[in-house]
Amino acid sequence: MLHLATDADTGHIVASAVTGRDADDGSQVGLLLDEVDGPVASFTGDGVYDRDDVYTAVAIRHPEAAVIVPPRANAVPSEAAGIAPTQRDAHLRCIAERGRTGWQRISGYGWRALVESDIARWKRIIGDGLRFQTEGCQATEVVIAAKVLNRMLELGRPEYVRIA
DSSP code string of 45-62: --GGG-SHHHHHHHHHH-
Domain spans in the chain, listed from the N-terminal domain onward: 2-72+109-155
pLDDT in tens, 90-106: 999 999 999 999 999 99
Confidence of residue 132 (pLDDT cuts 50, 70, 90): confident
pLDDT in tens, 65-84: 999 999 988 889 888 888 98
**End-to-end distance of the chain based on CA atoms, in angstroms?**
41
Classify residue 29 as left (phi > 0), alpha (psi -120 to 50) or beta.
alpha
Considering the chain, what is the average pLDDT of its residues? 89
3-state secondary structure of 84: coil
pLDDT in tens, 54-65: 999 999 999 999
Q: What is the DSSP letter of 26?
A: G
3-state secondary structure of 14: strand
Distance between CA atoms of residues 36 and 138, nearest Å: 20
Distance between CA atoms of residues 122 and 126, nearest Å: 5
pLDDT at 114: 79
Based on DSSP, count helices (H) and strands (E) in the chain, helices before strands: 5, 4
More confident call, 116 vs 102: 102
